[in-house]
Amino acid sequence: MINNYFSYISQKHASKWLVFGIDMAIVLSTFFLAYFIRFNFTLNFDLKQFLIQVPFLAAVASFSFLLIGSFKSVIRHTGFTDVVNLFKAIAVMSLVCITAVSVNRTLGILPEFTIPMSIIVMHALLSFVALSASRLLFKMTYKYLKCKFISSKNVLIYGTGDSGIVTYNALISNVSTKFQVVGFVDDNSKKKGKSINGISIISKDRINNAFIESNQIDELIIASKNIEKENLIDFVNLNMKITKVPPIENWINGELNVKQIKQVQIEDLLGRPPIQINNPNLINEFTGETVIVTGAAGSIGSELVKQLSNFAVKKLILVDQAESALYDVQQELKQRGKHNFVAIVADIRDGLRIDNIFQSHKPTMVFHAAAYKHVPLMEKSPYEAIKINVNGTKLLADTASRYNVKKFVFVSTDKAVNPTSVMGATKRMAEMYISCLQKESKTKFITTRFGNVLGSNGSVIPLFKRQIEKGGPLTLTHKDITRYFMTIPEASQLVLEAGTMGKGGEIFIFDMGESVKIYDLAKNMIKLSGLRFPDDIDITITGLRPGEKLYEELLANGENTLSTYHKKILISKTRELDYEKIKAEIEELCITNRFQNNNIVMKMKRLIPEYKSNNSDYERFDKRVQIYKKAKGITANRADKNYGNL
């Protein structure tokens, strides 16, 4: 009941006229106090003269307060500006009094009326101190009662810069949730032992579970964008909630709202700084271009569309066979005020349909992101994987070449490197076909390779989130499995950048930092959700899925890299291919062997010597090669040439 009553009262503001009345009472009281002090703490002064001066002072004080408006502030939120307004009001009051007394003495208008100048000065000082102290006392009392009678959260703020101070002010000014700031946390040893607004600055080294328990810390708010990833991971491993303040540019009207403080995301724990691209050439590259994006409703495709729509493109052509998802992208563009786009429901396997789109819209650039990408599903359906990932890419690339499109950017994957799955092998075949086509086309064909994308459809992050919402357990295929990760915006920016710098025939690979152990990522996600591992949610190891690798690679055997002007983008120097032969065999594979999975996989293994199946039924074909090589005593290359006859 007390909590409810105090919550109700705290929503109300004291009437400004009540504040005005209290201020007037303080001013008149300090006037008497000035006389009392002036006459050695006695009443040996002219009380009759004092009573004549009081109405005059009340009138002057009223005028000053009304002029400056110092009584209109919300007392419990008193700040520096409010104190400055008090100073202005007292200064006006004192100047008016001094001027009036001086004029009266000179002209002799009221010979019996005067106020000693020393009393005016003493009164000004006493009034300013008393008015400021009254506001501070009320603010402290309110804060004490708020913390005493209303449940509050004990928080730490990481960062002592401007963002940290603004965060502190936002927390103590918040009404809906009560916060008690226990301390500021900083890595700078020079700030150790200092304080801000009476709140101690605590060294990061002191923050451990014992400190958290003894101070009953509920939450750590990251208010610094320069926090080291190692420090952030250390904080995540402690028994408290971790949140962060958004960048200053995202604050509402330049001010931080407590509701903008969000939970730390798994993206923040990548272990590397976000990849930033600031290339003015991108603007020139896409200005006036008609750009097709396939897979436009997918994770990468939709982000490509979003970023391309910010350039002065002539027209954006959004192609996808997923009707509902494409509709969502269409509506988002409209809400952002974009109108230079066309959304088309189409299947890239339909050559006539693709030709019609190119004929109607005459694109000058193509970003091809449409693909099947789920490894276990494609392991069971090689024919479908060939249809989309190889034949679909072939039809699109052939059409782009036929219509003399300037650039064709193909979004590949690190699973195409030394593939162990059908999906990875089909993406590698698509890379090879594009390389072959480059030899006879005016179109510049460019391939981009990168690893897993955080938050993309079908990635491990959304899966873990769903499992956490259901109470677990989290399912993991192997405790030692690792993956490279980047965010969707990062991946899309790098694709655009690679498309800009590409001259045709390159395979661009992206420096994604250190690979991430998925087991550690799963534990961090549990902790970021405010739960404990394994007490609240456990992790279950299910075993590697068909075609799945323990770790991914960005370079195949025999490949090396060349640097570019962007340190995060490298060019893969691939081995030479027999272009005519490979192109012909890929074309044959796309039109034959319908539903004959074994034949399809055998031919892919012959085309891609480094394709070795893992945890899959197709491993038996690799074993047959090994037996064949051992029996014949021939080299790997000769075995690969004879592989199709096995």
Same structural domain for residues 245 and 327? no
Same structural domain for residues 321 and 405? yes
Same structural domain for residues 96 and 65? yes
Same structural domain for residues 239 and 297? no
Q: What is the CATH number of the domain that holds 412?
A: 3.40.50.720
Q: What local confidence, expressed as pLDDT, does residue 497 receive?
A: 87
Q: Please give the residue that has the higher pLDDT: either 600 or 511.
A: 600
Instruction: Indicate the residue among 148, 172, 205 that finishes a domain.
Output: 148
The domain in which residue 61 lies consists of 13-148
Strands (E), 332-380: 341-345, 365-368
Q: Can you say how many angstroms the Cα of residue 446 is from the centroid of all Cα atoms in its chain? A: 29
Instruction: Report the C-alpha gap between 287 and 240 in whole angstroms.
Output: 49
549-590: pLDDT as tens digits: 887 776 655 556 677 777 778 887 766 777 788 888 888 888
DSSP class of residue 185 equals E
Residue 634 has pLDDT above 60, yes or no: no
Same structural domain for residues 260 and 284? no
The DSSP string of 212-251 is HHHTT--EEEE--TT--HHHHHHHHTSSSEEEEPPPGGGS
Q: What is the pTM of this model?
A: 0.68
Instruction: Look at residue 244 and tell me if it is in a domain.
Output: yes
78-105: pLDDT as tens digits: 778 888 889 999 999 999 999 988 888 8
Nearest to 146 by CA among 357, 2, 261: 2
Instruction: Look at residue 32 and tell me if it is in a domain.
Output: yes
174-202: pLDDT as tens digits: 666 677 888 888 887 778 778 887 788 88
The tally of CA atoms less than 13 A away on the side-chain side of residue 502 is 27
Mean pLDDT of 429-442: 91
50-60: pLDDT as tens digits: 888 899 999 99
Instruction: Look at residue 621 and tell me if it is in a domain.
Output: no
Burial class of 331 by CB neighbour count within 10 A (0 to 12, 13 to 18, 19+): exposed
61-85: pLDDT as tens digits: 999 989 988 888 777 777 788 888 8
Residue 165 has pLDDT above 70, yes or no: yes
Same structural domain for residues 138 and 183? no
214-228: pLDDT as tens digits: 888 888 888 877 777
Q: Cα dihedral sign for 147, 148, 153, 159?
A: positive
Q: Which two tokens stand for residue 145?
A: 């009662």
Same structural domain for residues 362 and 445? yes
Instruction: Look at residue 613 and tell me if it is in a domain.
Output: no
Q: Please give the residue that has the higher pLDDT: either 556 or 42.
A: 42
Q: What local confidence, expressed as pLDDT, does residue 560 receive?
A: 65
With a pLDDT cut of 70, the percent of the chain lying above it is 84
Same structural domain for residues 102 and 227? no
Instruction: Look at residue 307 and tell me if it is in a domain.
Output: yes
Residue 287 has pLDDT above 80, yes or no: yes
Instruction: Indicate the residue among 89, 118, 148 that finishes a domain.
Output: 148
At residue 3 the predicted structure's pLDDT band, cuts being 50, 70 and 90, is very low
With contact defined as beta carbons under 8 Å apart, do 606 and 639 qualify? no
Q: What local confidence, expressed as pLDDT, does residue 8 receive?
A: 46
582-612: pLDDT as tens digits: 888 888 888 766 668 888 888 888 888 889 9
Same structural domain for residues 254 and 184? yes
Same structural domain for residues 315 and 336? yes
Instruction: Look at residue 271 and tell me if it is in a domain.
Output: no
Instruction: Report the C-alpha gap between 319 and 347 in whole angstroms.
Output: 8
